[in-house]
Structure 1
Amino acid sequence: MKVISLIARILLGLMFTVFGLNGFLHFLPMAMPKGVAGQYMGVLFVSHYLVAVFAVQLIGGLLLLANRFVPLALTILGAELVNILLFHVLMEPSGLPIALFATLLWFITFFSVRQAFAGIFWMKVPEHSQL
């Protein structure tokens, strides 16, 4: 399982690093999607919101590749993945297989560091907690 989680972490880190860098350096040609997806991407581009999206992807990917602050990287990339999945499910289904693959890698990596998230799954916090 250690080897699988290592491979998943590196692949996920590479995916987010490459696509995050591509947002700044434009080395992978990407056509603007048609229809609502294109309008949505156009708004994100014009508002410069994509700069923040690509920066978060790049930071999260680099953290995974460096094997530093992996739970933090998974937290910020988890939010990105939700948005990526919703975008592809609702507006641009052609990219859904890659989004699902990235989600699978995220869950494999999450499973390997799940102990770091144990505190957020408390149903009820004790009244006199010393957190």
Structure 2
Amino acid sequence: MNLRSDQLKKLYALKLSREKLIPFAMLTCRNYRANWHHRLLAEKLMELEQGDNYRLMVLMPPRHGKSELASIRFPAWFLGRNPDYRVIATSYSARLAENFGRKVRDLVADPKFPLIFDGVSLS
């Protein structure tokens, strides 16, 4: 594979990550493997971002990736696409909500983030 081909693949990966949540999760989390239920959840979360849906209740068994996708990757992706908006992280415990908020902040502060979202970064 030549250099130009590699560069085009990287640009395409960045474009896909800007547009869709699952490619964003895969680009920002090296070990992320999306299964059918992750794709369905991502589709519903993207409907929220696009204004096609205003409410979403996520009911999945423990350890099925709902927190990683809905509470960490989605808020970061949403903020990248909508930098003037605010996101509220809530949970059954303050410690868990703070942990999610910290992970979102760290994700937005990652050097890859402004490459995906054209210069969007923390102030």
Task: Return the TM-score normalized by structure 1.
Answer: 0.30
Task: Return the TM-score normalized by structure 2.
Answer: 0.31
Greater RCO structure (CA 8 Å; 6+ sep):
1
Please say which structure displays the higher CA radius of gyration.
Answer: 1
Q: Structure 1 or 2: larger helix share?
A: 1
